[in-house]
Copies of this chain bind each other. A is one copy, B any other.
């Protein structure tokens, strides 16, 4: 019935000969085929396929973010692709449950043949981290070691070059800093906000004094002082610069203020897309963190404190990495600064007009 001879054929289109011919079990080569090594290979290959897709999305997002005039249409595309990014992350987080069907002993049947290969050698995953904005100084000592001495020359060179390029984090900072949100003549927003914040913190203090006494009261008030100080930094640039220098923050002051403004007015249709952009980035961060965390639990269940294929004790190693490689901490920090809606000034019409429909039209 098929007449079109040059037509597309399913298995050719997907290059299934290559794809399905790429599973060679080391245990078989060594004469002791271990049934579950196939699962190990296929699972990791599936990860790498999805990493390729994540990079495809990330690169296209960065090409759009790099444009100095970022119109709302491009913003819509960016948000759409970052959301897809998170959907894929959710899928690969689920993949761990497949790997968990392998028993520790079934893994031990082929562990030794894989030494010293390690998932930490995934160049695509490291590329994702670097492009998103993870700096080497944020990596744990152990992760840095892998980076330098456990990759082959070509892989290391590739990644070192990447570290010199602009990251999504930088692009985000620049875009936020450029938004015309902060300079409305005659609209004393930040004055208003500062008073709202003070009221909220005073009310919190009253609640604490009413609820606690003794040592608990002292320690709760200490914490509150910390929160007050964090608010202070928003309004005092030299204070803010100090936190930047100490590495406690990484977004520039202007970018932080814009991000806060977007969060405060997230329900304005105008800010839907910018807010979704910020949210997607936080979700990406959370999902990679969840991925690392579930990995730690799995390795713990698999190996205890025995060494993994990379030659080092898997579980402690990974645990140290879980919280380390966080990317968008500053965006999380914004929650601290949110006020109830009733404490916010309504945006005056001229401000809305000034913003116009298009945020990018500065």
Contacts and interface: CB of A to CB of B under 8 A. Distances in A.
A45 B73 contact: no
Interface stretch (A119-127, A130-138, A165-173, A185-193): A119-127
Contacts of A38: 53, 56
B53 A118 contact: no
Nearest to A358: B269
This chain: how many copies in the complex?
4
A263 to B, nearest CB: 8
Contacts of A14: 22, 41, 44-45, 48
Interface in A1-23: 1-4, 7-11, 13-16, 18-23
Chain A contact residues: helix, strand, loop or mixed: helix
Given A19-B18, A117-B13, A121-B11, A307 B2 contact: no
A16 to B, nearest CB: 6
Contacts of A56: 35, 38-39
Interface in A155-178: 155
A141 B230 CA distance: 26
A7 to B, nearest CB: 5
A232 interface: no
A144 to B, nearest CB: 11
Interface in A317-362: 332-342, 357-358
A143 interface: no
Given A1-B216, A97-B87, A273-B269, A9 B340 contact: no
A98 to B, nearest CB: 5
A238 interface: no
A202 interface: no
A198 interface: no
Contact of A48 (B19, B84, B301): B19
Interface string A47-83: 0111011001000100000000000110111001001
A180 interface: no
Contact of A150 (B2, B42, B122): B2
B267 A77 contact: yes
A2 B91 contact: no
Interface in A287-339: 293, 297, 300-307, 309, 311-313, 316, 332-339
16 contacts: A1-B145, A4-B115, A4-B116, A8-B114, A8-B117, A13-B26, A14-B44, A18-B19, A42-B50, A77-B267, A80-B101, A91-B91, A116-B207, A223-B316, A224-B307, A306-B335
Given A7-B117, A14-B45, 11 more contacts: A1-B149, A1-B214, A8-B113, A13-B114, A15-B22, A18-B22, A19-B19, A73-B267, A108-B339, A204-B306, A230-B305
Interface of A: 1-4, 7-11, 13-16, 18-24, 26, 35, 38-39, 41-42, 44-46, 48-50, 52-53, 56, 60, 72-73, 75-77, 80, 83-84, 87-88, 90-91, 94-95, 97-98, 101, 103-105, 108-109, 112-119, 121-124, 145, 149-150, 152, 155, 200, 203-204, 207-208, 210-214, 216, 220, 223-224, 226-227, 230, 263-264, 266-270, 272-273, 282, 286, 293, 297, 300-307, 309, 311-313, 316, 332-342, 357-358
